[in-house]
Structure 1
Amino acid sequence: MTHFESEDKNSVFNRFVRDFGLYSIAKLVPAVASLIALMVFTRFFPPAAYGRYALAASFIGIFSTLCFDWVGKSVYRFAAEMRDDVVVGNAISMVSLTALSLVALGTAGYVLWGAELGDFRPFYFAVLIVIVVQGFFQTFKWFFQTTLQSKSVMGYRIFESLLKLALSLLLAILVLNHIVGWIWGAVAATGVTVLLMAYKLGRSNLRPRLDPKVVRRFTRYGVPMLGWMIGVPLLSQADRVLLELLRGSAAVGIYSSNYQITDSGIRLVFSPIITAAYPIIMNTLEESNEQEVAGLITRFSRYFVLIAVPAFIGAAFLSRTLSSVLLDDAYLEGYIVIPFVAGGVLFLTLANIGQITMEVREQTKLISAAALTAVVVNLLLNIPLITLYGYLGAAVATTVSYSTYALLVYYFSKRHLEWTLPTSTIRNAIVGGALMATPPAVLYVSDSYTALRVTIALLVGFAGYVAVLYSLGEVDEEKIYSLIE
């Protein structure tokens, strides 16, 4: 069913800002909780132990995506045009059947090959079970997002992240004395949150059903997206497997911990843009035309660019400070990957906005083709670069492969929905970004860098960035007044 009425430009902007704020809070608390856990665990466990945890987390991301995200993505796409009980009932049935099959196959695999897992054996069942509970959590979360229930999403995300932090610290440090407790804490916290989400949805929505027409539509839309869904995790996770093989668990630990700092911080800024924009666009599609949708995508791309440039500059200049504050000294040398990872996530998020044009037309095979092409580029680059430069090479490969994906998405998307990349905004943001980067760059060149000085320099530079945008007409007074009213 439709949850969104056609609105004028200011109303759409206000809705975007409201949902962006709520989703930012929904990202902020989990990101802070994740960073607290990272600070604690990197001080209690050496890089090799963290490296094994990071590899286990990589498999969680890959298999959770492969098994369940095609259902969740279909819910995200079609919830605006179907009855709630039809969407949720069919989705929960498909997720449940997939979960039962996964547990059966996983148990059989452990019986046959469990003895060969070595140091990774304690992670096996924790990984298997957390994949299942995350499948339910993600499906429910996407339903709440696409039906514009941003407050509910915020509440569940905050509750789950805080409970996960508490239980992970308890289990890993006090009960098990093993970093696998981090994953078992996620199992318990996410499981409890899933039960609360199910209670809110109610029995009528959760009643299992397998409507052939709905299943076919979900399958035709979601399954072709598996290339994209599995491609994106592979872009961010394959380098860790190769690092393990070529450089060992300690290198994985150093790289992954600094990667997580960047990913958590940058996604905290970038992800709410996609989360807020997607349901607005999809609900607009039901009541308007594709030209208006194209205009919305261009507008949200503009918002993203204006936010992304200062976020990237801040991450780049604060990289050493962030690593030294959040991680143990044994992990500090990995701070050099932070600017590259930040740039990669920037390109990935821009691609996520652009690919909505193909999702509108249900051209999911093209999205998968672009993602898998980027994965091939990533693998071809990672092997020589990791061999020569270790985790720095992995970070460079990440940036190049993400930017490759963004270029492919832009090329394909223009063929299916005529939208305009905001080139003037990109130019103006780069001009403002250059001004913003000047004060901290002077500190680096003059060898006067300290954490306090660079923070102040970035704040001064950001004021210059805003001034440039205002002078070039990127800051719209009408929208500022509409937010105040």
Structure 2
Amino acid sequence: MLWVLVGSVVAMGVALAGTRFLTTFVTPAEYGRLALMVSFAVLFDQVVGHAIGGAAMRFYSIYRSEGLLGDLRRVVFRSLLQGAAACLASAALLGVAGMYPSVVLLFASTGFSIALLVSGVGVRLAEGARRRRVSATFRGVFEILRFGSAALIIVLVEADAESAMTGFLVGAGTVALVHWFYLRYRLLVGDHNSASARRRAQLMASFRKYAMPLLLVGFGTWVYLMSPLWALGWFGDITEVGKYGAYHQLAFVPMLVVSGLLLTFLAPIVYENALKSIHTAMQGALRLAMVSFVMVTFIAAFAFFEQRFLATLLLGDSFRDGSWMFPWLILAGGCYGVGQQLLLKLRTEMKVLQLAAIQLGFAAAAVAAYSLAAWQFGVEGLIVAVVLVNATLLLVSLLISGTPRPLPEVDHPIDA
């Protein structure tokens, strides 16, 4: 756990410092262009990477114990190739339709998207294998190289979105290449071929049954998190997109990092304890979620009173007039993160279809609410909508996490 904490703290610190650098040298309009392209670049990691990495994390110990890591390696690499092909096809469609701000941004964001996909799956697999030190190292190095490369290219070339995205590609691509070799030659090795063909088919069916709905979960999550940027881009102007994107990176995203850190620690424990008592496992998760929410409330209160100081510390001059967004985005991000902790119940009970329905439903509601708010009230109305939608998600997650039901006997992968 210490290594995961160190890696997450380093990654978050580098991201904060990188955002400070970008907002100092890049105008809000250029940052807005960058934020919109990054929002598209994370699509395939959020959808394909989330599904394959999440399922691999869930099933890694089972495949390893039965000497079938070769089977897991084949499905992971096949999925990565399919995700990369889909990313290239999407970029080609955008190019043909002319829906891109510049050729450099289109190519750089496409490469960055593929690198994110490989790195995301690698980190999730390392976490599932309990390789905490490896996972933490990759997280920290990824952010260091991503923002370091962007800063270097901005200084040497020009302070614009194209330079920043090219730097992101260079840094992320380097880490992704190392990830690929690590997965192929270190983590997914040890195939003893000890199981029967029937057992292999059963495990693969369970893996696919778990992973397929996660594609929908990932897509819903992507739409849910990125829709504020799109709403502002459609109904506002690119400068507002840039300012919101910067505060989202500094206030909302750190809450997601903390939540992800807790889930990294909590999920393997809950999965193992659920085999003995799902009720006991989820009661512990519920208590941790409540403590997390109390901490988020205190952090948001501090940000409310120190918003100008935080803006001066973390942002360039041209972004500081939006300091009022700090506490509200921290609160919204905290609500979302705690809600995801509570929804771990559905993953544990293998009810990923229900999880997908919730994510897609909230994604649709978020698009409607954010678009209406941005259209009628601008960025101020959008912030109110973001807080209300995420608070509603937290309440729904709290209701769902009520009394856990016993795990199903037939569909559980260990009993298959």
- The residue identity in structure 2 corresponding to 1:169 is A
Alignment partners' CA distance in 2, 1:203 and 1:70? 18
Pairing 1:34–2:34 present:
no
Give 1:183 deviation, angstroms.
Answer: 2.4
Give 1:70 deviation, angstroms.
Answer: 0.6
- The residue identity in structure 2 corresponding to 1:276 is F
Q: Which residue of 2 aligns with 1:191?
A: 176
- The residue identity in structure 1 corresponding to 2:321 is E
- The residue identity in structure 1 corresponding to 2:95 is G
Alignment partners' CA distance in 2, 1:105 and 1:352? 27
Pairing 1:376–2:364 present:
yes
Question: Which among 154, 173, 180 is matched to residue 165 of structure 2?
Answer: 180
Q: Which residue of 2 aligns with 1:201?
A: 186
Q: Which residue of 2 aligns with 1:100?
A: 81
Alignment partners' CA distance in 2, 1:308 and 1:96? 38
Residues 264, 409 of structure 1: alpha-carbon distance in 2 compared, 3 angstrom cutoff: closer
Q: Which residue of 1 aligns with 2:109?
A: 127
Give 1:252 deviation, angstroms.
Answer: 0.6
Pairing 1:146–2:134 present:
no
Cα distance per residue 1:401-460 (max 9 Å; x no partner): 222222222333336439xxxxxxxxxxxxxxxxxxxxxxxxxxxxxxxxxxxxxxxxxx
Give 1:35 deviation, angstroms.
Answer: 1.6
Question: Which among 114, 118, 123 is matched to residue 136 of structure 1?
Answer: 118
State TM-score, norm by structure 1. Answer: 0.74
Question: Which among 49, 53, 66 is matched to residue 34 of structure 2?
Answer: 53
Q: Which residue of 2 aligns with 1:9?
A: none
Q: Which residue of 2 aligns with 1:336?
A: 324
Question: Is the CA contact 2:100–2:106 (under 8 Å) kept in the aligned structure 1?
Answer: no
Residues 141, 104 of structure 1: alpha-carbon distance in 2 compared, 3 angstrom cutoff: closer
Question: Which among 62, 66, 73 is matched to residue 47 of structure 2?
Answer: 66
Q: Matches of residues 360-375 of structure 1 in structure 2 within 5 Å?
A: 360-375=348-363
Question: Is the CA contact 1:231–1:368 (under 8 Å) kept in the aligned structure 2?
Answer: yes
State TM-score, norm by structure 2. Answer: 0.85
Gaps of 5+ in 2: 407-416
Give 1:242 deviation, angstroms.
Answer: 1.6
Pairing 1:417–2:405 present:
yes
Give 1:53 deviation, angstroms.
Answer: 0.7
Cα distance per residue 1:165-185 (max 9 Å; x no partner): 322222343256523223223
Question: Is the CA contact 2:67–2:190 (under 8 Å) kept in the aligned structure 1?
Answer: yes
- The residue identity in structure 1 corresponding to 2:64 is R
Q: Which residue of 2 aligns with 1:408?
A: 396
Q: Which residue of 2 aligns with 1:350?
A: 338
Question: Is the CA contact 2:50–2:214 (under 8 Å) kept in the aligned structure 1?
Answer: no
Give 1:54 deviation, angstroms.
Answer: 0.3
Residues 198, 107 of structure 1: alpha-carbon distance in 2 compared, 3 angstrom cutoff: closer
- The residue identity in structure 1 corresponding to 2:370 is N
- The structure whose RCO (Cα within 8 Å, separation 6+) is larger is 2
SS at match of 2:172: helix
Residues 86, 169 of structure 1: alpha-carbon distance in 2 compared, 3 angstrom cutoff: farther
Q: Which residue of 2 aligns with 1:282?
A: 271
Q: How many residues of Structure 1 are paired with residues of Structure 2 in the alignment?
A: 397
Question: Is the CA contact 1:373–1:405 (under 8 Å) kept in the aligned structure 2?
Answer: no
Residues 109, 357 of structure 1: alpha-carbon distance in 2 compared, 3 angstrom cutoff: closer
Residues 370, 195 of structure 1: alpha-carbon distance in 2 compared, 3 angstrom cutoff: closer
Alignment partners' CA distance in 2, 1:188 and 1:77? 26
Residues 263, 25 of structure 1: alpha-carbon distance in 2 compared, 3 angstrom cutoff: farther
Cα distance per residue 1:15-60 (max 9 Å; x no partner): xxxx2x4323211111111122211122222111111110111112
Question: Which among 81, 95, 119 is matched to residue 114 of structure 1?
Answer: 95
Cα distance per residue 1:352-384 (max 9 Å; x no partner): 221121111111111111112212221221122
Larger Rg: 1
Alignment partners' CA distance in 2, 1:356 and 1:108? 33
Question: Which among 318, 321, 325 is matched to residue 313 of structure 2?
Answer: 325
Give 1:397 deviation, angstroms.
Answer: 1.8
Q: Which residue of 2 aligns with 1:465?
A: none
Give 1:118 deviation, angstroms.
Answer: 4.7
Give 1:350 deviation, angstroms.
Answer: 1.7
Residues 105, 73 of structure 1: alpha-carbon distance in 2 compared, 3 angstrom cutoff: closer
Alignment partners' CA distance in 2, 1:85 and 1:134? 30
Alignment partners' CA distance in 1, 2:186 and 2:66? 9
Alignment partners' CA distance in 1, 2:352 and 2:254? 29
Gaps of 5+ in 1: 1-18, 419-485
Query: What is the RMSD of the two structures over their aligned residues, measured on CA atoms?
Result: 2.9
Percent of pairs with identical residues: 16
Give 1:91 deviation, angstroms.
Answer: 4.5
